[in-house]
């Protein structure tokens, strides 16, 4: 009996031990859960990553705005309607309903598409507005559905269309800055995005829409007035390399569905190359000054045509005498300029053109850029003709950029379509000519406006300087006498140029007001003057008046009053 109780006691003890073991395991288990729970809820910070991953949207395409923040390109939400033909029970009825709501659909072709066996997806209409989408959706045809898409719109229309470019129906950029945002500029585009808030900053251009409009307006007036084939105008900030305005006419509407651009509508200022003619002489002058082979007091004999081999170089405004350096510039003497190039020599000339960048393609953000066309064989003759702009063709933008570099103090600053600060520009710049050379070029440019071929560019108060060019166009391998390209490159205010301007008119005609002339001095120059007069106040150039200006103003006021009397 005693043994029994002892046995029972020990059995009871063993049972209690087992219970204790089990409860210990359980409490350890629960403790573990509690600790883990505490760790997860109290210690662990939930990060926002999960939230972003859930929404599988692509980053929105950045807007494009001008330097003042005015919207030039933006995305708006539109819907695209599609249909799954397999789900439609009565095709005839569906076609009838759809064509009644969307009149632009072709009933026959739609029916064909819907009846094609095995097809599971047919676009009905892409990029439609909310009302139209609801109207179609409410027809209640099975299989009709829509997806929300983004559509690119250009509120500015034609203005600056060449720079902004455009996108295809899948909002992929195929021209201009739009293309840049997708291709070479992808890094730049990525830097604009803000993944946390799922937004993007706009891409800010260097252009000013007010200035752009003034340039477009004046150039288009000139194209009509002088019956030119096309025209163009650029305004470039000489200190930062920013392109403030760039207008190439004829232009196009980027909002149009089918653009079908003709070759005339291309951006001629970057994708075309032209022999700019006499404006290139400025480069030769800068070269001769910079190599030290010429001073302001040097003289060049232009009394006889220059003969190289069996080619003769003669002057358009022939003076038939010995010319001083400023006279060679203001009379635009081919002979004098060619002699300068020969003085420098073949290698020096080649090296200088290389240094200013005429040997390489100018690359900006806008992808449409053309390579310069240079003489194939660098000979004495090609050097002499290249000195006055014959036989070598460049993008007009490149021509302006180089001239701007020569007069801004001699620093080469790559032009850009994106907004840039002075500090950034200074970091990119490198010296191409001495400051003294640049100083002399400024003097010559200003002189050419006060006393030379560009006298009509003298906008009172803004100290304009510039060089004209009238290049005979090459038609069928020969220089045409009747078809010319009139150009003007200038800058203002000349004592410290802030903005450079380029105006080009392709095949301007002589009109009664120009006394039978079709040279740049009579068409491109007055156009540039009209542009400067309009944009200088917008660009913040303070007018200053020289005594000659005041005398001119007084004279104008006098004639103005007499005219009134007569009127």
CA separation (Å) from 234 to 162, 248, 303, 340, 531?
A: 12, 9, 37, 29, 10
Residue 395 and residue 372 in contact, taking contact as beta carbons nearer than 8 Å = yes
Of the candidate residues 62, 74, 282, 432, the single one contacting other proteins (CB under 8 A): 74
Of the candidate residues 161, 214, 484, 520, the single one contacting other proteins (CB under 8 A): 214
Residue whose structure tokens are 């105008």? 233
Distance CA 382, CA 380 (A): 6
Of the candidate residues 67, 75, 113, 369, the single one contacting other proteins (CB under 8 A): 75
Distance CA 118, CA 115 (A): 9
Which helix (H) or strand (E) segment holds residue 79: the answer is strand 71-83
- Our finding on whether 33 is near other proteins (CB under 8 A) is no
Catalytic residue chosen out of the listed positions 248, 278, 401, 438: 278
The CB-of-504 to other proteins minimum distance in angstroms stands at 21
Contact positions with other proteins (CB under 8 A) in 313-372: none
Q: Which is nearer to other proteins, 323 or 503 (CB)?
A: 503
- Our finding on whether 244 is near other proteins (CB under 8 A) is no
Which of 437, 461, 464, 439 shows the shortest CA–CA distance to 450? 464
Q: Which is nearer to other proteins, 156 or 504 (CB)?
A: 156
Distance CA 567, CA 564 (A): 5
Stretch near other proteins under the rule CB under 8 A, chosen from 107-115, 175-183, 213-221, 363-371? 213-221
Which helix (H) or strand (E) segment holds residue 181: the answer is helix 176-182
Stretch near other proteins under the rule CB under 8 A, chosen from 172-180, 208-216, 367-375, 477-485? 208-216
- Angle at the Cα of 519 (from 516 to 524), degrees rounded to 5? 115
Beta partners for residue 431, in sequence order:
411
Distance CA 242, CA 285 (A): 25
Of the candidate residues 13, 21, 139, 553, the single one contacting other proteins (CB under 8 A): 553
Q: Which is nearer to other proteins, 71 or 474 (CB)?
A: 71
What DSSP string runs through 452-473?
Answer: STTGGG--TTS--EEEEEEEEE
Stretch near other proteins under the rule CB under 8 A, chosen from 75-83, 110-118, 338-346, 413-421? 75-83
State how beta strands 230-237 and 311-313 pair: unpaired
Distance CA 498, CA 489 (A): 14
The CB-of-181 to other proteins minimum distance in angstroms stands at 17
Distance CA 349, CA 381 (A): 12
Binding mask 449-478 for other proteins (x = CB under 8 A): ----------xxxx----------------
- Our finding on whether 210 is near other proteins (CB under 8 A) is yes
Binding mask 168-207 for other proteins (x = CB under 8 A): -------------------------------x--------
Of the candidate residues 125, 213, 281, 473, the single one contacting other proteins (CB under 8 A): 213
Of the candidate residues 212, 330, 332, 382, the single one contacting other proteins (CB under 8 A): 212
The CB-of-153 to other proteins minimum distance in angstroms stands at 6
What DSSP string runs through 16-51?
Answer: HHHHHHHHHHHHHHHHHHHHHHHIIIIIPPPPTHHH
Contact positions with other proteins (CB under 8 A) in 120-159: 153, 155-157, 159
Distance CA 524, CA 234 (A): 12
Q: Which is nearer to other proteins, 219 or 536 (CB)?
A: 536
Q: Is 278 a catalytic residue?
A: yes
Q: How many residues bind other proteins (CB under 8 A)?
A: 33
DSSP-H helix ranges across 468-566: 524-539, 547-566
Q: Which is nearer to other proteins, 303 or 556 (CB)?
A: 556
Rg (CA), the chain: 36
Stretch near other proteins under the rule CB under 8 A, chosen from 104-112, 210-218, 223-231, 380-388? 210-218
DSSP helix/strand/coil, 248: strand
Q: Cβ–Cβ contacts within 10 Å for residue 499, how many?
A: 24
Residues labelled catalytic: 278
Q: Applying CB under 8 A, which residues contact other proteins?
A: 63, 70-72, 74-77, 153, 155-157, 159, 199, 209-210, 212-214, 216-217, 459-462, 533-534, 536-537, 542-543, 545, 553
């Amino acid at each position: 009996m005693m043994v029994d109780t002892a046995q029972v006691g020990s059995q009871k003890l063993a049972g209690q031990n087992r219970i204790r073991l089990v409860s210990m395991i359980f409490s350890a288990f629960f403790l573990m859960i509690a600790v883990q729970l505490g760790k997860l809820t109290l210690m662990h910070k939930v990060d926002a990553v999960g939230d972003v991953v859930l929404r599988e949207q692509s980053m929105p395409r950045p807007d494009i705005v001008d330097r003042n923040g005015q919207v030039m390109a933006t995305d708006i939400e539109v819907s695209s309607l599609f249909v799954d033909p397999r789900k439609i029970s009565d095709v005839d009825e569906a076609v009838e309903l759809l064509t009644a709501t969307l009149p632009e659909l072709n009933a026959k072709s739609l029916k064909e598409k819907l009846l094609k066996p095995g097809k599971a997806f047919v676009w009905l209409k892409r990029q439609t507005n909310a009302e139209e989408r609801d109207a179609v959706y409410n027809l209640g045809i099975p299989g009709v559905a829509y997806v929300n898409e983004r559509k690119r719109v250009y509120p500015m229309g034609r203005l600056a269309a060449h720079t902004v470019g455009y996108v295809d129906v899948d909002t992929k950029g195929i021209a201009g800055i739009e293309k840049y945002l997708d291709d070479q500029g992808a890094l730049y585009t990525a830097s604009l995005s803000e993944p946390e808030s799922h937004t993007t900053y706009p891409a800010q251009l260097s252009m000013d829409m007010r200035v752009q409009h003034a340039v477009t307006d004046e150039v288009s007036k000139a194209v009509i007035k002088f019956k030119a084939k096309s025209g163009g105008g650029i305004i470039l900030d000489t200190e930062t390399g920013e392109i403030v305005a760039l207008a190439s006419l004829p232009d196009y509407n980027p909002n149009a569905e089918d653009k079908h651009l003709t070759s005339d509508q291309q951006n001629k200022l970057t994708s075309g190359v032209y022999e700019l003619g006499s404006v290139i002489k400025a480069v030769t002058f800068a070269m001769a000054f910079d190599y030290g082979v010429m001073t302001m007091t040097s003289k060049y004999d232009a009394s006889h045509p220059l003969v190289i081999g069996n080619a003769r170089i003669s002057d358009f405004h022939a003076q038939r005498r010995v010319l001083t350096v400023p006279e060679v510039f203001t009379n635009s003497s081919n002979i004098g300029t060619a002699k300068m190039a020969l003085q420098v020599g073949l290698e020096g000339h080649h090296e200088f053109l290389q240094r200013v960048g005429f040997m390489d393609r100018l690359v900006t953000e806008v992808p449409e850029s053309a390579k310069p066309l240079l003489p194939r064989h660098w000979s004495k003759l090609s050097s002499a003709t290249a000195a006055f702009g014959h036989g070598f063709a460049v993008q007009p933008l490149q021509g302006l950029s180089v001239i701007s570099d020569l007069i801004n103090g001699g620093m080469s600053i790559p032009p850009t379509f994106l907004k840039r600060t002075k500090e950034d520009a200074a970091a990119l710049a490198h010296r191409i000519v001495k400051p003294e050379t640049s100083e002399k070029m400024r003097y010559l440019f200003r002189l050419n406006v006060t006393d030379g071929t560009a006298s009509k560019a003298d906008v009172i108060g803004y100290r304009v300087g510039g060089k004209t060019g009238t290049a005979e166009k090459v038609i069928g391998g020969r220089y045409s006498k009747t078809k010319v390209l009139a150009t003007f490159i200038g800058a203002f205010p000349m004592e410290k140029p802030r903005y450079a301007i380029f105006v080009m008119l392709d095949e301007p005609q002589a009109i009664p007001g120009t006394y039978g002339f079709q040279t740049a001095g009579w068409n491109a120059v007055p156009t540039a003057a009209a542009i400067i007069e309009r944009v200088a106040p917008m660009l913040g150039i303070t007018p200053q008046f020289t005594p000659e200006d005041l005398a001119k103003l007084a004279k104008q006021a006098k004639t103005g009053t007499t005219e009134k009397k007569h009127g």
